[in-house]
Structure formats: structure tokens, C-alpha cells
Amino acid sequence: MLYLLFVSVVLQTVLVGCAPPNSRQKREEGSFCILHGRDYSHGENFTVPESGPCVTYNCNHGSVRPIKLECRDGQGGCVPQGSEREYFCRTEVCEEWGNTIGFRTLHSSNCRDQFGECHPIGVPWTRDCQTYVCNKTNRNSFQIRTIAIQCQDAYGNCKELGESFIYAINRQLYNDCTCRQEGTRLRYECYT
């Protein structure tokens, strides 16, 4: 009991001793709040750097409580709870859990290619005359697989393997060129 009384006296001394003269002592009890060492008036809405600009607090009779919880959008703005976004081929939702707020992954059902583009599972796409498909390998893993390869001429058109076409090598155009597949790569040959 004596220990508790001592701690109480020390705590009161520290609190009163830290207050600037005639500032907090003149305020009515419950007319202000303190959060992260700063005081706020009763009824004041505010944000703090520790939580960022997307969480707004209110001072209410000495108690601080969050009144607006939103997620940072990554571009300096805020989005409300329930907002969805696509992020690295994942669908995420802004929501509160515990005493925090942020984006939670709803589902990830796409592959992200080397150019940062997302592709749905099982839907083929073609880039530079190569056709790919996204496959799901397990619960959280996806794989991009090449399913068809064609040659590309000097103008960006796709040509079949063995077909003759115009091709550019070191900015020089050649009229009689072909290509053949070697593994997952193509080898171009031009005849002069």
C-alpha cells in the first residue's frame, strides 16, 4: 500500500512538474486530451504523424478515440474502408482489424509478367509473337508458361517457324530470313 502511494505521489509530481506554468493547471478536468505529448481541446478533431493523415481522432472529455479510419492509397491520399484495389495482381480491401487499419488481400488469381501486367489464370496472351498462359501451381503460387512461339519480322508481324520474312540485324534489313526454335528461344538466320 505504501508502495502504491509512493508511485502515485511520484506520478503526480512528474505530471504536474512537466506542465508549463499556469497552462494545464488552469484547465478544467476533462476539457482537454493528451496524445503523443500534445494537448487537444475537448471537441477537437485531429490527426497525428504516428497514425498518418488517414486516421482522424476526436478529443472527448479527456478521452481520445478514432472517429475516421481510412487506408493510405499510396499516392498521398486516403480511401474509405471497403475500398478495393488491384496491387501486384492481388485484389485487396481496406479494412480495420484489431486496433489497426490497412489493406488485406481478398484473393490473388493472376500472374504478373516481367512487364508488370496481370494475367488471369488459364487465359492465353501474346507478346512479341510468343503466347503465354498463367497456371496456378499451388494455393499461393502461379507460373507463367510459354505455349507457342513464332518469329517476329522487322515490322513486328508474327511469322511461322521456317517461313521466310524481312528481318533487321544492326539496323540493316535482310530479305530472306527464317527462324527456328532452340528450347524456349528463337535463332534467326538471314541469307544474302
SS (H, E, C) 119-174: EEECCCEEECCEEEEEEEEECCEEEEEEEEECEECCCCCEECCCCCEEEEECCEEE
Predicted confidence band of residue 107 (pLDDT cuts 50, 70, 90):
confident
Q: How far, in whole angstroms, is CA 59 from its chain's centroid?
A: 31
- pLDDT for res 29: 60
C-alpha cell at 70: 481510412
Alpha helix (H) residue ranges in the chain: 2-18
Neighbouring CB atoms inside 10 A of 22's CB total 7
Q: Is the pLDDT of residue 97 over 80?
A: yes
Task: Say what the pTM is.
Answer: 0.53
- Cα atoms in the Cβ-side hemisphere of radius 13 Å centred on 5: 2
The number of residues making up the chain comes to: 192
User: Which of 42-56, 100-114, 119-133 shows the lowest mean pLDDT across its residues?
Assistant: 100-114
Structure letter (DSSP) for residue 20: P
Residue 188 contacts by C-beta under 8 Å, 6 or more apart in sequence?
151, 167, 169, 177, 178, 179
